[in-house]
Amino acid sequence: MRTAEVTRKTKETDIRVSLVLDGTGEVNAATGLPFFDHMLTAMAKHGGFDLLVQAEGDLAVDSHHTVEDTGIVLGEAIREAVGEGHGIRRFAHAIVPMDEALATVALDCGGRGHLVFQGCFSQKTLGTMDPEVFEHFFQSLCAKAGLNAHLLFQGRNDHHQCEALFKAFGIALGEAVSLRPGRTDIPSTKGTF
């Protein structure tokens, strides 16, 4: 089973992530940020992996450190669970509508962390959070996981845009790290990521 458990403790946060790539979509997210827990749950559920996130952070300051550091730890867990990438599909994409909103995600799990994030939120808060933190979350996750990700979204309702984005990311990630039947090679002309 392709799994990982990663912890990170700083003066600002204390985070533990447990990840099972070949899971059933079982999720337990407890970050102290209900909207973020909702997004993590949507991502893992639709990606088909099991995810446990326990995070304590300096929420009295704001949500930035907790969200960004969760991205760091989740990215490290993805990288560890994928390992050298033997037999994975590597590339995947997903398009998810949610009412008037539409999110498109294209991923390459080839070891090169890079994020393109196109879209904007119109409100100053999502739940109790500054929506700017979501780009930081995905940037941190992609850098640590070695994902090249293009995230594009549009719509009028910020909740719908964000939820469609997390669902699309989960679906694309689940597909990209899935195993190709009968293949054990590393999907790279270089022979390594």
pLDDT, tens digit, for every residue of 75-97?
999 999 999 999 999 999 999 99
The reply to whether 59 falls in a domain is: yes
Give the pTM: 0.95
- Give the model's pLDDT for residue 69: 98
Read off the pLDDT of residues 10-49 as tens digits, 9 standing for 90 and up: 999 999 999 999 999 999 999 999 999 999 999 999 999 9
Q: What is the CATH number of the domain that holds 19?
A: 3.30.230.40
> How many whole angstroms from its chain centre is CA 10?
21
State the residue range of the domain holding 167: 3-176
Total number of domains constituting the chain: 1
Question: CB-based contacts of 103: which residues, under 8 Å, 6+ apart?
Answer: 95, 96, 119, 151, 152, 153, 161, 164, 165, 167, 168
Query: What number is the average pLDDT over the span 50-70?
Result: 96
Helix/strand/coil for 99: coil
Query: What number is the average pLDDT over the span 105-123?
Result: 96
